[in-house]
Structure 1
Amino acid sequence: MASAKSWSLALVLLCISLSYLVNAAGDNNGSIGASFIFGDSLVDAGNNNYLQTLSKANIPPNGIDFKASGGNPTGRYTNGRTIGDIIGEELGVPNYAVPYLAPNSTGKAILYGVNYASGGGGIMNATGRIFVNRLGLDIQIDFFNNTRKQFDQLLGPSKAKDYITRRSIFSVTIGANDFLNNYLLPVLSIATRISESPDAFIDDMINNLRNQLTRLYQLDARKFVLGNVGPIGCVPYQKTINQLNENECVDLANKLATQYNVRLKDLQTELTGKLPGATFVYANVYDLVMELITNYEKYGFTTASKACCGNGGQFAGIIPCGPTSSMCQDRDKHVFWDPYHPSEAANLIIARQLLYGSTRYISPVNLKQLRSL
């Protein structure tokens, strides 16, 4: 009997040793590291819950399909997971990147990553002022600077630098608000549009972003994912207020997004040449979302025009999603959850293309390949 127990104990110890070796090998490959998420409401995981702001999503039925919260709202602007959540899961990160402003964004929790994104935030500091409070990209990077110091304390300077440079991914999903809630904002932006041409405004955006990305590089970021601006002229809000037909989009908004995206691609090339050791991956969200909108039936959706949760007009696109909103039952059949944001079903398709797709949507490498670099 004693020998059987000894054999069992030896077997358990062998399994533990093998498990440790496998995990250690995975760590050395950089298969598990931190995910640092910067951006706007498309990827906000709850930072705005802690701000006095008009842009909030911590009210039902937001999050109704978010399993981790039991269907309760978390501050995500969708019915389930964001693109950032899904990508983290698929890359094997065991926990969602914690919102920077959340009380639990301390200690070892930050080793899996931190989310700095904020609904209403933009590249320009003036963007989103209509919401009163929001975190622009400059402030988000200030916050990462604090996190960077915490990593030194947790791991020691040498290991922290290696963890940040080799094993961590920095995703930046921002720019839409700079048009929707700044340059194109009714009434408030008229003076800006009179004094500044679209080209000049986009110049300002790119110059700001260049400085912001360079600052992240100086804080040891090396693996970057740059999401371009999607077809903002096709969201239910824009279709509703402009009284468009189902298959129409607002030309000016989409034209500005396209102009900016060309410049962002140029910036990717420029920074790749200027910042040694950095990899800048361009995520072509515009074409990816436009494909979903144009060929929605092919992907199992019944509408790419109407918000699942919202009120007002033909496409339920005026009043944001909240407790008094109308809500569809077939949430996975709608490309848009609310007047602005994709549903979890759409986020899943977008995320998987960015993870595993071809250079049509993600270049020069996809996110799975970026993780292993």
Structure 2
Amino acid sequence: MAFSYSHFDVNRRRINFMTTLMMVSSLLCLIPIGNADDNDKALGASFIFGDSLVDAGNNNYLSTLSKADTTPNGIDFKASGGTPTGRFTNGRTIGDIVGEMMGIPTYATPFLAPNATGKAILSGVNYASGGGGILNATGRIFVNRLGMDVQVDYFNITRKQIDQLLGASSARDYIQKKSIFSVTVGSNDFLNNYLLPVISIGARISQTADSFTDDMINHLRDQLTRLYRLDARKFVVANVGPIGCIPYQKTINQLNENECVDLADKLARQYNAKLKDLLVQLGETLPESTFVYANVYDLVLELITNYRKYGFSTASRACCGNGGQFAGIIPCGPSSSLCTDRDKHVFWDPYHPSEAANVLLAKQLLDGDTKYISPMNLRQLRNH
């Protein structure tokens, strides 16, 4: 799942605030989040790839327009005391929550954080980057971001570090048998590439939607195969969520509360069908690999459609944002309007789910049935 965004940060951060932020981000991987002790190596590691839905702070270390390092982002993130960490939500990301639920002892460290070395990487590393996509051209409007090709390059560095920590044989065992690789990417390739107003018009004239989604699938195939060659064996790959239903899309298209943008959702569904087929093919052709398909599209659509059933008061209005009927035009920042009932909103900002929504999504991915995650859930994958 990868809801995208357009983050034009006009607020210049003060040097002392940024220094404090970097210190907080660097310390987060040292904060225990579970009851696992140091001897429980069976828990393995969580290696997280993707975009802003699971970025845990990598973009803090980039000169980019895509940042979440200002208040009120992170206001409910207990590990930092409510200080922004670079997560594009009010609290924990799905990756954070799944890691906690699986008993991984610390949050996966952002790769670009200065302390992403030594034993800290044995609990996992987060390579995700706000604005990143499958295709290298995706997100160029933000100036800097880490696309999937670069993220896999960075894992290659981590892979060599694990060899040095554990020795080649034990490192291979640790990666292949005890580690999970999660990939949450794709929405930016639509919202901040193919569907981007003005900039993408030429591309859409020269490339059909079918050709564009084929291009995405071919690139992702190469990226997942590269990870496999670096000893990744247990994969969970999320499909693209209902991007036509996010507050940003509803606002700029002046839709009613229960409407979604048809073209964006059609593209997501088209890509998702091809992604599901790709993962089956890879599982059949790459020996000893397991590829799990996370049906985030239907999961999020269920929350949006039946939000009251899950305790939410709105699935269309952003908790933090400004502009239009659903506060969906200007990204969350210090000058944004902020709701008082954050756990009652499906969406934190114009593009990303709230922590309350992330908790529900993570629970389904961890223990849900094949409607939402197949051929097995994450708890089963861990023990597989």
- Structure 1 match to 2:84: 73
Q: Which amino acid in the other structure matches residue 78 of structure 1?
A: T
- Structure 2 match to 1:177: 188
Q: Structure 2 CA distance, aligned partners of 1:323 and 1:239?
A: 23
Are 1:296 and 2:307 matched, yes or no? yes
- Give 1:223's match in structure 2, choosing from 224, 228, 234: 234
- Taking structure 2 as the reference length, the TM-score comes to 0.90
Are 1:139 and 2:119 matched, yes or no? no
Q: Structure 1 CA distance, aligned partners of 2:90 and 2:271?
A: 29
Indicate the RMSD between aligned Cα atoms, in angstroms. Answer: 0.8
Q: Which amino acid in the other structure matches residue 360 of structure 1?
A: K
Are 1:99 and 2:99 matched, yes or no? no
- Structure 2 match to 1:167: 178
Where do residues 251-262 of structure 1 align in structure 2 (5 Å cutoff)? 251-262=262-273
Secondary structure of the residue aligned to 2:360 is: helix
Between the aligned residues of both structures, percent identity stands at 77
Q: Which runs of 5+ in 1 are unaligned?
A: 1-21
Q: Structure 1 CA distance, aligned partners of 2:160 and 2:283?
A: 26
Q: Structure 1 CA distance, aligned partners of 2:231 and 2:68?
A: 32
Secondary structure of the residue aligned to 2:293 is: strand
- Structure 1 match to 2:13: none
- Structure 2 match to 1:337: 348
Structure 1 residue 77 displacement after superposition: 0.1
Structure 1 residue 351 displacement after superposition: 0.2
* Residue deviations 1:210-237 (CA, integer Å, cap 9, x gap): 0000000000000000000000000000
Q: Which amino acid in the other structure matches residue 205 of structure 1?
A: M
CA separation of 1:264 and 1:300: change in aligned 2, threshold 3 A: same
Q: Structure 1 CA distance, aligned partners of 2:362 and 2:348?
A: 16
Q: Structure 1 CA distance, aligned partners of 2:101 and 2:257?
A: 34
Where do residues 1-373 of structure 1 align in structure 2 (5 Å cutoff)? 27=41, 30=42, 32-373=43-384
- Structure 2 match to 1:18: none
- Structure 2 match to 1:10: none
* Residue deviations 1:259-281 (CA, integer Å, cap 9, x gap): 00000000011001110000000
Q: Which one has a bigger Cα radius of gyration?
A: 1
Q: Structure 2 CA distance, aligned partners of 1:191 and 1:23?
A: 54
Q: Structure 1 CA distance, aligned partners of 2:369 and 2:163?
A: 36
Q: Which amino acid in the other structure matches residue 302 of structure 2?
A: E
Q: Which amino acid in the other structure matches residue 94 of structure 2?
A: I
Q: Which amino acid in the other structure matches residue 209 of structure 2?
A: P
- Structure 2 match to 1:14: none
Secondary structure of the residue aligned to 1:338 is: coil
Secondary structure of the residue aligned to 1:289 is: helix
Secondary structure of the residue aligned to 2:49 is: strand
Q: Structure 1 CA distance, aligned partners of 2:151 and 2:240?
A: 19
- Structure 1 match to 2:27: none
CA separation of 1:135 and 1:23: change in aligned 2, threshold 3 A: closer
Q: Structure 2 CA distance, aligned partners of 1:344 and 1:270?
A: 34
Q: Structure 1 CA distance, aligned partners of 2:343 and 2:247?
A: 17
CA separation of 1:154 and 1:63: change in aligned 2, threshold 3 A: same
Q: Which amino acid in the other structure matches residue 133 of structure 1?
A: N
* Residue deviations 1:147-171 (CA, integer Å, cap 9, x gap): 0000000000000000000000000
Structure 1 residue 23 displacement after superposition: 7.4
Q: Which amino acid in the other structure matches residue 260 of structure 1?
A: Y
Q: Structure 2 CA distance, aligned partners of 1:114 and 1:23?
A: 17
Q: Which runs of 5+ in 2 are unaligned?
A: 1-36
Q: Structure 1 CA distance, aligned partners of 2:284 and 2:179?
A: 21
Q: Which amino acid in the other structure matches residue 150 of structure 1?
A: Q
Secondary structure of the residue aligned to 1:169 is: strand
Secondary structure of the residue aligned to 1:150 is: helix
Q: Structure 2 CA distance, aligned partners of 1:38 and 1:351?
A: 16
Structure 1 residue 364 displacement after superposition: 0.5
Q: Structure 2 CA distance, aligned partners of 1:76 and 1:251?
A: 29
Q: Structure 2 CA distance, aligned partners of 1:269 and 1:162?
A: 24
Q: Structure 2 CA distance, aligned partners of 1:333 and 1:300?
A: 7
Q: Structure 1 CA distance, aligned partners of 2:136 and 2:246?
A: 24
- Taking structure 1 as the reference length, the TM-score comes to 0.93
- Structure 2 match to 1:8: none
- Structure 1 match to 2:33: none
Q: Structure 1 CA distance, aligned partners of 2:263 and 2:359?
A: 28
Structure 1 residue 205 displacement after superposition: 0.3
Tell me the matched-pair count. 348
Structure 1 residue 139 displacement after superposition: 0.1
Structure 1 residue 352 displacement after superposition: 0.3
Q: Structure 2 CA distance, aligned partners of 1:353 and 1:171?
A: 15
Q: Detail structure 1 runs of 4+ shifted over 4 Å in the superposition.
A: none
Q: Structure 2 CA distance, aligned partners of 1:218 and 1:268?
A: 16
